[in-house]
Amino acid sequence: MSTNKAPQRPSAPVGSTRNFAYDLSGWLDTHPTDDTQDEFLVGTPLVTEAGTSDLSITSKSISTTDLVIDHEIVAAGKAVQFSVSGMLASGSPYTINIIATSDSSPAQVLPVELEFTT
């Protein structure tokens, strides 16, 4: 399965706990006249660290309310949220792999690679 790189490059200071939200609405189908027929994310996303074992990743979920991500309103059910702590090395890039599933039939499996720096 190929992984798509997220365009966002957030940062997190060493020793901090950061909440992240990633917008997947651009990959989900929308209905032109009826929002209740839109495709949404379901279940608990798989969010893992790649390459190191420094991080603690908690509170993995699908958004349950509208969020503002990169100055855009993202509807509930269309973003993945999680918290990250344990950043050890200043200036080091960390990679997070996200896999979310949609409620379409058949379900879409949406893999994303998010990189951030300290």
Domain boundaries, the chain: 4-117
Contact criterion met (CB below 8 Å) for 81 and 20 = yes
Contact criterion met (CB below 8 Å) for 116 and 6 = no
CA dihedral 67, 62, 78, 108 (to 10 degrees): 170
- Three-state secondary-structure class, residue 107: coil
CATH code for the part of the protein at 4-117: 2.60.40
Kindly indicate the confidence band of residue 92, based on its pLDDT and cuts at 50, 70 and 90.
confident
- Say what percent of the chain tops pLDDT 90: 52
Quick: pLDDT tens for 24-78.
999 998 877 777 778 999 999 999 999 888 889 999 999 999 999 888 999 999 9
Rounded Cα gap, residues 59 and 62, in angstroms: 10
Handedness of CA 2, 102, 7, 59 (dihedral sign): negative
pLDDT, greater one: 117 or 104 = 104
